[in-house]
Amino acid sequence: MNFQKNRVKFFTSLFLALIVSLSCGTQKKEKTLKIAHSLDPSHPVHKAMVFMAQRLKEKSEGKLTMTIYPSEQLGSEQQCVELLQIGSLAITKVSSAVMESFTQNFQVLGLPYVFRSDEHSFHVLDGEIGKELLTSTEKYNIRGLCFYDAGARSFYTIDKPVEKPEDLNGLKIRVMKSQTAMNLVKAMGGSPTPISWGELYTALQSGVVDGAENNPPSFFTSRHYEVCKYYSLNEHTRVPDVMIISTVVWNSLSDQEKKWLQEAADESVIAERKYWADSEIESLKKVQEAGVNVSYPEKEPFALKVQELLDGYKSKPDLYKLIQRIQAIE
């Protein structure tokens, strides 16, 4: 009888030990998401990513973390997008202009003077239109997490300032790989030349292009001011950045992990806008100290030059309706 009792105890203990062992073996391991981008670590967007990583770690108590690779450590912007689509990279930052190649609705964000102010663009991007755009590329294995402020883009040039549209005549201006950006520069009289961000400094230095267009923090952190001594703040577009995640990675996360990540991303948007505003002031101060002539040309002549470009969207009802929705937002 005792022998039978001992056997029962032995197998019961063995069974419980096995259950505990299996339970430990199936516990979820900590996950680390790789995030890569092309910007310098001093850039406000990178600082926002660091903030996002900190908040994600805090929210998940270390169960879900991020490792950030700046300055094209894992490749150019285009290469990062390709890595993201196959799930080899979790998250990257791109200009919304890059997203035009996936869905035409992103074209609208790159149109000249479509946003009246920073505040207007924030209301659009934080609202229904922004949410629609973020989820519009999922069939390409890309999902938007949030929009980051990228300020207003203006022209900077090597030899002469751009005080009026006519000053662009004959100038080769670097643009992003975006049909909208190319059409904009062409409408104003310039010759648009697509060049990757990482190759632009050399292109300016060697005279492949006569200038480019971008926001103050990017102009400063890229050190393009060392070559281009004229910065004309005509603020023709307010093209936001987009934080995108691979749907391969997103779909592998639990609902709780998705919640942690989205909350961290949303909170980083608020931080990024503060970093950005501070950086714009500091960047303009620094480039002027370095000898750059910063001017503030009248915007109306530039806006009139591109009006025909905007009117052309009337032949594209879906896009024109989206433009009208944006303009209707206060």
So what's the pLDDT on residue 8? 41
Is the pLDDT at 220 greater than 50? The verdict is: yes
So what's the pLDDT on residue 17? 38
Report the alpha-carbon distance of residue 180 to residue 176 in Å, rounded: 9
Percentage of residues in the chain with pLDDT exceeding 90? 85
**What is the mean pLDDT of the segment spanning 40-49?**
93
Mean pLDDT score across all residues of the chain:
91
Is the pLDDT at 28 greater than 90? The verdict is: no
Ordered domains of the chain (ranges, CATH): 30-101+117-150+239-283 (3.40.190.170), 153-238+284-328 (3.40.190.170)
pLDDT tens per residue across span 136-155: 999 999 999 999 999 999 99
Q: At residue 193, what is the residue type?
A: T
Which positions ≥6 away from 106 have C-beta within 8 Å?
Answer: 96, 97, 99, 100, 133, 136
pLDDT tens per residue across span 169-215: 999 999 988 889 999 999 999 999 999 988 999 999 999 999 999 99
pLDDT tens per residue across span 253-277: 999 999 999 999 999 999 999 999 9
Q: CA end-to-end span of the chain, whole Å?
A: 85
Report the alpha-carbon distance of residue 215 to residue 209 in Å, rounded: 18
> 213, 185 in Cβ contact below 8 A?
yes
